Amino acid sequence: MDERYSRQILFSKIGKDGQAKIRQKHVLLVGAGALGSANAEMLTRAGVGKLTIVDRDYVEESNLQRQQLYTEEDVTEKLPKAEAAKKHLLAINKDVEVQAVVMDGTAAELESLLTDVDLIIDATDNFETRMVINDLSQKWDIPWIYGACVGSVGMSFTIIPRRTPCLSCLLQTVPIQGMTCDTGGIIGPAVQMVVAHQSAEALKILSGNLEAIRTSFVSFDVWENQFHSFKVSKMKKESCLSCGTEREYPFLKIENATKTAVLCGRDTVQVRPSAPIELNLEKLAEDAEKFGCKVKRNPFLVSLEMKGERMVVFPDGRALIHGTKDTTHAKSIYQRIVGA
């Protein structure tokens, strides 16, 4: 086993002791898209003990330009990203325990996965989920690494509960809002640069080198050759409701969670059921065919097409309505097909 990680062990800051620590750690990776798939591969090759991957989406052709784990076969099979990532990661390193969780990253669902987690890595595409991660990090005293990119721009910051400002502290000062790939597309090098920052910080935390953690917020543009580093240590606020002296964890409250969301960079709306359900996908597929829908299914989802509209339904009742950004229209399609 030492031979596999010999070059990493030869790096004196990690060494045998650090490698042994990495092998004992559990990382929760929220999102399995561009940032998520690259971080997952790095952690798997580095020999992390356990990797739990949470993602709500499935692999599409437009993902292949920048989401490095996936293949055309994954697109054809319409595999959920978490499951496709698990398949490829186990082919890279079978000694890493990989758990694939196909679900939306709501507060309750993410919190249910936090037992024995040592680090959370943000690879999401929306701020609602990031703020949930931020509150869970503070509540459970688990470090997390923020990352975002769009166009040729990327950003990253490492948050250590009780030591650094949290994301809520920074929102009023650091220019991190408005980061979505819905504006201006994205190029692969920006993704890889963010991942380089995130994965380096992850190795520091997992190997026990907390003194090496970067304390600044970094922002860069790989096309315009710009790099900025913001000192943020003084931005920690005692009045912060997420990490301050009187915490309320506002983003863990159910009233702050949405039931619909427009997905980043796509004419797609996600709809969640108002209460937890468990669908029989086989029966749903059979019923849809009777109503004239064109149906494709695998063990993880059902894809339905009717009158130019397409909908993908998951066992937990969650659905992606393609071809629209109108949440009201998406809800009507959902209720017509699923009825929840």
Do residues 276 and 315 touch, judged by C-beta distance below 8 A?
A: no
DSSP state letter for 259: S
Alpha helices in 175-323 (DSSP H): 188-206, 281-290
The CATH code for residues 258-337 is 3.30.310
Band of residue 183 on the pLDDT scale cut at 50, 70, 90: very low
Mean pLDDT value of segment 278-285: 85
Q: Alpha carbon of 337 to those of 188, 220, 284, 292, 308: distances in Å?
A: 37, 44, 8, 12, 15
Query: Tens digit of pLDDT for each residue in 325-334?
Result: 888 778 877 8
Task: Give me the amino acid identity at 117.
Answer: V
**How does DSSP assign 97-117, residue by residue?**
EEEEEES---HHHHHTT-TT-
Query: Tens digit of pLDDT for each residue in 28-45?
Result: 999 999 999 999 999 999
pLDDT of residue 29: 98
The two tokens of residue 294 are 């064109």
Given its phi and psi angles, is residue 62 left (phi above 0), alpha (psi -120 to 50 degrees) or beta?
alpha
pLDDT of residue 220: 95
Do residues 191 and 35 touch, judged by C-beta distance below 8 A?
A: yes
In whole angstroms, give the CA distance from residue 144 to residue 35: 14
Give the predicted TM-score (pTM) of the model: 0.81
Do residues 66 and 116 touch, judged by C-beta distance below 8 A?
A: no
SS3 breakdown of the chain: % helix, strand, coil, rounded to 5? Answer: 35, 25, 40
| Cβ contacts of 124 within 8 Å, gap of 6 or more | 30, 31, 105, 130, 133
* Domain 6-255 matches domain 258-337 at the CATH topology level: no
Domain ranges of the chain: 6-255, 258-337
| Residue 192 CB neighbour total at 10 angstroms | 17
pLDDT of residue 286: 84
The superfamily in CATH containing domain 6-255 is: NAD(P)-binding Rossmann-like Domain (3.40.50.720)
Q: Alpha carbon of 206 to those of 1, 74, 113, 199: distances in Å?
A: 18, 31, 18, 10
pLDDT of residue 179: 44
For residue 172, give the 3-state DSSP assignment.
Answer: coil
User: Strand pairing partners for 320?
Assistant: 270, 312
Band of residue 324 on the pLDDT scale cut at 50, 70, 90: confident
In whole angstroms, give the CA distance from residue 235 to residue 8: 35
Do residues 222 and 152 touch, judged by C-beta distance below 8 A?
A: yes
In whole angstroms, give the CA distance from residue 5 to residue 15: 10
Query: Tens digit of pLDDT for each residue in 124-172?
Result: 977 788 999 999 999 999 999 999 998 899 999 999 999 999 999 988 6
In whole angstroms, give the CA distance from residue 51 to residue 36: 11
Query: Tens digit of pLDDT for each residue in 44-88?
Result: 999 999 999 999 899 999 899 999 999 999 999 999 999 999 999
Q: How many CA atoms lie less than 13 Å away from 214 in the CB half-sphere?
A: 22
In whole angstroms, give the CA distance from residue 228 to residue 231: 10
The two tokens of residue 328 are 């009201």
The two tokens of residue 7 are 């070059």
